[in-house]
Amino acid sequence: MKVTTMAEMMAQGKQPEVLFWVGAAGSYDDKAKKITRAFVKILNQANVDFSVLGTEESSTGDAAKRAGNEFLFQMQAMMNIEILNAYEVKTIVTCDPHSFNTFKNEYPSLGGKYEVFHHTQFIQKLIAQNRLKIDETTLKGKRLTFHDPCYLGRANDEYESPRDLIRRLGVNLTEMKRYKSTALCCGAGGAQMFKDAEKGDKEVNILRTEDALETNPQIIATGCPYCKTMMSDGVKFKEKESEIVVKDIAELIAEANHL
């Protein structure tokens, strides 16, 4: 796969069309790495001139802020903004709604003003520009339900870009009883991923997986690496791994296009 860093681009005197912000999950988590690879394949198929920061990429500070450590958040944010502005970054795309929300809504007041896309929005843009097509025959007729990421949906009112892409896959989409603005969290947001459930409580990801199972899906689609992990764990807990796959929309598009 063709991937260059911003440093390599600058050394060549070039400026990429977009910076792909990989994020911590997309860099280190095995499930999320598959999302990263799938999205890179899509970008390459669409001939998008993009770069990553590589080793210069750090945490956006989202988890620190949600956990209440505003000081650490601002330290991380200022460090990132200094690097991004030094490279004259104008447009950022990320597969992580937490990073998307932080860049879009919390960095501008600190001097980090960028055009920010969630990967479903960016793929939608590529389709509108006739740079990408989705093969609707590969997954045609598969039963699918979609879990709305909190930081894409309720936090940023973006519900249609993932659904538009899902419809283009030719699958049979069945919505959960709680969806869009009423969707239940996967259980990982707000730094909750790093906390243990109280004794006797049913964990949120199990409750959300039960919502998904009620639709009798073959595929649970997500638009967030943390959602993918939590829903995958829920499917495993329910012993449904042999029947149901949990995949990010980018993975489904890559699969549909035989990438």
Summarize pLDDT for 43-88 with one digit per residue, the tens: 999 999 999 999 999 999 999 998 899 999 999 999 999 999 999 9
The model's confidence at residue 32, banded by pLDDT at 50, 70 and 90, is: very high
Has residue 166 got a pLDDT over 80?
A: yes
Phi then psi dihedrals of residue 190, to 5 deg: 60, 30
Query: For residue 232, which of 35, 60, 61, 62 has the smallest C-alpha distance?
Result: 35
The model's confidence at residue 192, banded by pLDDT at 50, 70 and 90, is: low
Has residue 188 got a pLDDT over 90?
A: no
Instruction: Indicate the fold that domain 4-128 takes in CATH.
Output: Rossmann fold (3.40.50)
**pLDDT value of residue 189:** 67
Has residue 195 got a pLDDT over 60?
A: no
Query: For residue 112, which of 92, 71, 84 has the smallest C-alpha distance?
Result: 84
Average pLDDT over residues 171-185: 94
Has residue 163 got a pLDDT over 60?
A: yes
Beta partners for 93? Answer: 20, 117
pTM check: above 0.85: yes
**pLDDT value of residue 2:** 75
Write the pLDDT tens digit of every residue in 196-240: 655 556 788 899 999 999 999 999 999 999 999 999 999 999 999
Based on C-alpha coordinates, what's the Rg of the chain? 18
pLDDT above 90 covers a percentage of the chain that reads 88
Query: For residue 65, which of 54, 80, 55 has the smallest C-alpha distance?
Result: 80
Has residue 194 got a pLDDT over 70?
A: no
Has residue 132 got a pLDDT over 60?
A: yes
Q: Are 166 and 146 in contact (CB under 8 A)?
A: yes
**pLDDT value of residue 202:** 75
The model's confidence at residue 191, banded by pLDDT at 50, 70 and 90, is: low
Has residue 104 got a pLDDT over 80?
A: yes
Q: Are 29 and 248 in contact (CB under 8 A)?
A: no
Query: For residue 146, which of 233, 247, 239 has the smallest C-alpha distance?
Result: 247
